[in-house]
């Protein structure tokens, strides 16, 4: 059984993000690591590795569509235990919306060949649309299984999963191949091992282009239905602070209550 884990490099959760007047987004991290594997994808990578350990998956391929720098996300996947990694990178993909990205991912999954499960995190912490997994499933013609909190059983060409809903859990069985997007309740991601990190640093990661995937105009700015032309920083909230001075806490509370009453807060 072959498994693909779709993963994306995102700004780190502690990065400070700025948007300039022209809408250009940049970020830096005081901790010195501005980019990380999308945190939700760590659970997908871990689940892919567990499919190898527990369900006999032969190949666990980490896959990303991005620039050369996003190879770092793939190296994290390899260091954790993925068996291979593939970067899909081409200037023509710049400005893709999530549907364009899904078309590229679906073409890459087809090129890997004979894939039974494509794993995703529930969303990416930057774009945060949560659409890429279902759109990829649609492109592939596979069943999307979202918010998966456990893979219960795989066999006889079927997969049974537990889905985490707002008001409970749901067991769903679907035919393979399937797209599975996971939530953090599914597992506890492992740390990359020292040997894994060394192996990842030596790994030869192939880079596929639009031509390799025979994608002509299916992705990129011109194919995007969603246009990110107006990106701006939210203006800082205006506010002021007043310290209530009084002889006692009771008096302070009484003054505060009067002020809240005047402002029609209470």
Residues lying near ligand FAD in the complex (CB under 6 A) are found at 6-8, 38, 40-41, 44, 64-66, 94-98, 101, 105, 120-121, 123-124, 126-133, 224, 226-228
Nearer to ligand FAD, 113 or 236 (CB): 113
Angle between helices 71-80 and 194-202 (to 10 degrees): 140
Nearer to ligand FAD, 118 or 154 (CB): 118
| Residue 77 CB-half CA count within 13 A | 38
Residue with tokens 């996003």: 70
Residue number of the CB closest to ligand FAD reads 127
Least Cβ distance, residue 169 to ligand FAD (angstroms):
21
Least Cβ distance, residue 8 to ligand FAD (angstroms):
3
CA pair distance 81, 143, nearest whole angstrom: 26
Say whether 128 sits in a helix, a strand or coil. Answer: coil
Least Cβ distance, residue 77 to ligand FAD (angstroms):
11
Nearer to ligand FAD, 156 or 187 (CB): 187
Residues 6+ apart with CB under 8 A from 7: 37, 38, 41, 44, 45, 62, 63, 64, 73, 74, 77, 121
Residue 195 CA to chain centroid, in angstroms? 26
CA pair distance 256, 261, nearest whole angstrom: 9
Least Cβ distance, residue 220 to ligand FAD (angstroms):
9
Nearer to ligand FAD, 121 or 192 (CB): 121
CA pair distance 177, 142, nearest whole angstrom: 6
Nearer to ligand FAD, 81 or 120 (CB): 120
Least Cβ distance, residue 65 to ligand FAD (angstroms):
4
CA pair distance 111, 104, nearest whole angstrom: 11
Least Cβ distance, residue 258 to ligand FAD (angstroms):
48
Nearer to ligand FAD, 132 or 187 (CB): 132
Nearer to ligand FAD, 130 or 252 (CB): 130
User: By the 8 A CB rule, do 198 and 136 touch?
Assistant: no
């Amino acid at each position: 059984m072959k498994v693909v884990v779709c993963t994306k490099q995102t700004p780190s959760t502690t990065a400070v993000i700025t948007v300039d007047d022209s809408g250009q987004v940049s970020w830096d991290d005081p901790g010195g690591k501005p980019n990380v594997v999308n945190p939700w994808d760590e659970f997908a990578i871990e689940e892919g590795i567990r499919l190898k350990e527990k369900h006999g998956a032969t190949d666990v391929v980490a896959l990303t569509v991005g620039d050369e720098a996003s190879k770092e996300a793939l190296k994290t996947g390899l260091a954790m235990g993925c068996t291979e990694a593939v970067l899909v990178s081409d200037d023509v993909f710049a400005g893709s919306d999530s549907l364009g990205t899904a078309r590229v991912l679906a073409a890459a999954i087809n090129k890997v060949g004979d894939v039974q499960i494509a794993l995703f995190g529930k969303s990416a912490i930057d774009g945060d649309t949560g659409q890429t997994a279902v759109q990829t499933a649609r492109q592939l013609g596979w069943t999307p299984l979202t918010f998966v909190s456990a893979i219960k059983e795989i066999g006889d060409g079927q997969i049974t999963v537990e889905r985490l809903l707002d008001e409970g859990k749901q067991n769903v069985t679907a035919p393979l191949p399937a797209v599975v997007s996971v939530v953090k309740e599914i597992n506890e991601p492992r740390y990359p091992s020292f040997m894994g990190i060394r192996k990842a640093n030596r790994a030869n990661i192939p880079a596929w282009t639009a031509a390799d995937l025979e994608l002509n105009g299916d992705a990129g700015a011109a194919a995007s239905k969603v246009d990110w032309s107006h990106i701006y920083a939210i203006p800082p909230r205006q506010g002021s602070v007043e310290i209530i001075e009084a002889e006692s806490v009771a008096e302070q509370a009484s003054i505060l209550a009067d002020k809240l009453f005047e402002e029609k807060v209470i």
